[in-house]
Amino acid sequence: MVQDTPLAGLKPAEFYVVSIKKLAFMYGVTMGLYLFAWFYQHWKCYQRSTGTEVLPVFRAFFNGFYVFSLFSRIQQALDVSGRTYQWFPTRRAVLLCIAWALPIISMMIEVDEPFFWIFTILDVGLFVACGWWLIGAQRAVNFLHNDPLGIKNQALNFANGVWAVCGAVVWVLFILMMVLSAFMPA
């Protein structure tokens, strides 16, 4: 027997609503690792809302290949809603893919000390730019779901704490590698 509740008949949110401050904090503290959870949540919400089998874990793990699809579906939902939001999803997805590929390519190139620091600064700049572009996408999702500030999901929870601890470990290892590489003889 199905109970009739105030939420009966309401379709679940099609995409993951989260506050911009929380997304920025989690992205920064985890050195971008939080994006796996972020993409997973978007695809899980999409699957729950539409009934489409999209394999959220797979799409989160290979997010670089599925960012175009996610952003396209967000734009389609905005179009269906009849609401206009300027966020340039295709351009944003292209820039993200390029920004994600450049650090990987730079790691394959053996460089001398001055270029090492240039590449490091470039990688940090790309990290910040990626965060900015992802925040823009999240703003579109929050707008779509009538929660521009992401009030529904602004508090940190236990899982966020686990992500933050993992991110802190990554940050410590990264800083140690940078210090060691700066002071190690060639």
pLDDT digits (tens, 9 = 90+) for 78-91: 999 999 999 999 99
The CA distance from 8 to 3, in Å, is 8
Express each pLDDT in 87-127 by its tens digit. 999 999 999 999 999 887 777 777 676 777 787 788 889 99
Question: Domain limits of the chain?
Answer: 20-172
Sign of the torsion formed by the C-alpha atoms of 108, 109, 111 and 117: negative
pTM given for the model: 0.86
> Residues 148, 142: contact at Cβ < 8 Å?
yes
- Residue 14 gets which letter from DSSP? S
Residues 32/130, Cβ–Cβ less than 8 Å = yes
Query: In this structure, what DSSP letter does residue 184 have?
Result: S
Q: Which residue has the tokens 């939001």?
A: 85
pLDDT of residue 3 exceeding 50 = no
Whole-angstrom distance, CA of residue 87 vs CA of residue 70: 14
At residue 71, what is the residue type? F
pLDDT given for residue 1 in this prediction: 37
